[in-house]
Amino acid sequence: MNTLKIATFNINGIRSRLPALMQWLDREAPDIVCLQELKAQDDAFPAQEIRSAGYGCIWHGQKSWNGVAILAKGMEPIESRRGLPGDESDSHSRYIEAAAHGIVVGCLYLPNGNPQPGPKFDYKLAWFERLIVHAARLWDSGHPVVLAGDYNVVPTDEDIYNPRSWTKDALLQPESRECYRRLLAQGWTDALRARYPDERIYTFWDYFRQHWQKNSGLRIDHLLLSRDLAPRMVDAGVDRWVRDQPHASDHAPTWVRLEID
DNA sequence: ATGCCTAACTAAGTTAGA
């Protein structure tokens, strides 16, 4: 059986995390990787090192913040889009899309939105609306699509260790959750939740209060599968060992494995 | 209500993350 492992990883600074990325690629050998929060300009992206590891890559960097990339093992991703349509004035590098290994992959870094309420939360919701519009087009295209990334949304109270201290956070607001629900209502399958319908599963643990050591996490990195890909899922998971490394990102790589012809 | 911890930018202190 041929399979594809597709992963999303908020790397939180690709320059400071390059050794960790190399180690993870070597050990887990994902076929397609979506990276977020590069925190690097285009000319500082370590393409040479990534290609030496056997991956083709495209990226959209930005000074200090944001930045997204798609890696594909043994091939160059064919870029189909950078930036979400719908707002020419949006200068954040938060979306890149490509075809690789027979699948269309959208790599997204949805705005955090804190503090809430305020202009940052307004921007989050506006960006989410644009994503919903674009996702509908992808869905209607009939192509096999994975929409993967850091959504900065905790979909339900089952996706966080304890919502009590997060009730005012942008990640848990009813408006954020409603956008995520509307996106899923187009038909997409939330791979991790489909694989683990009843379990607590987290993808992010903040650096405060020993939250990693206590497994006080949030599930905010998601992989959404189009209609024809959903029944092809053979497994999904979180590479938690990456979060346990010294100087780790606060997110762990999150992945789905699909059966392909 | 705020800070906790970490990184980037830039040179000690701010901004942003989630």
Domain locations along chain A: 2-260
pLDDT higher than threshold 90 for residue A1: no
**pLDDT of A130:** 98
Q: Mean pLDDT throughout A126-131?
A: 98
Which tens digits make up the pLDDT trace of A214-225? 999 999 999 999
**pLDDT of A250:** 97
CA dihedral A205, A70, A184, A2 (to 10 degrees): -100
The CA-CA-CA angle for residues A174, A10, A180, to 5°, reads 25
pLDDT higher than threshold 90 for residue A199: yes
Residues within 7 Å (Cβ) of strand B? A 10, 12-13, 15-16, 37, 39-41, 63-65, 111-112, 114-115, 120, 150, 152, 165, 169, 171, 204, 206-209, 218, 220, 247, 250-251
- Among this protein's residues, is A150 annotated catalytic? yes
**pLDDT of A261:** 81
Which tens digits make up the pLDDT trace of A58-72? 999 999 999 999 999
**pLDDT of A171:** 97
Instruction: Find residue A70's DSSP bridge partners.
Output: A34, A58
Which tens digits make up the pLDDT trace of A224-235? 999 999 999 999
**Average per-residue pLDDT for chain A:** 97
pLDDT higher than threshold 90 for residue A53: yes
Which tens digits make up the pLDDT trace of A93-122? 999 999 999 999 999 999 999 999 999 999
User: Which is nearest to A81 in space by CA: A95, A65, A66?
Assistant: A95
CATH of A2-260, one of 1.10.10.10, 3.60.10.10, 3.40.50.720, 3.40.50.300: 3.60.10.10
DSSP labels for A94-127?
-EEEEEETTEEEEEEE-----SSSSHHHHHHHHH
- Among this protein's residues, is A109 annotated catalytic? yes
Q: Is the pTM of this model over 0.85?
A: yes
Q: List the A12 CA – B14 C1' distance (angstroms).
A: 19
Which contiguous run of DSSP H or E holds residue A20?
A: helix A18-28
Helix axes A119-141 and A174-184, enclosed angle (nearest 10): 10
Determine the nucleotide nearest to A13 by Cα–C1' distance.
B7
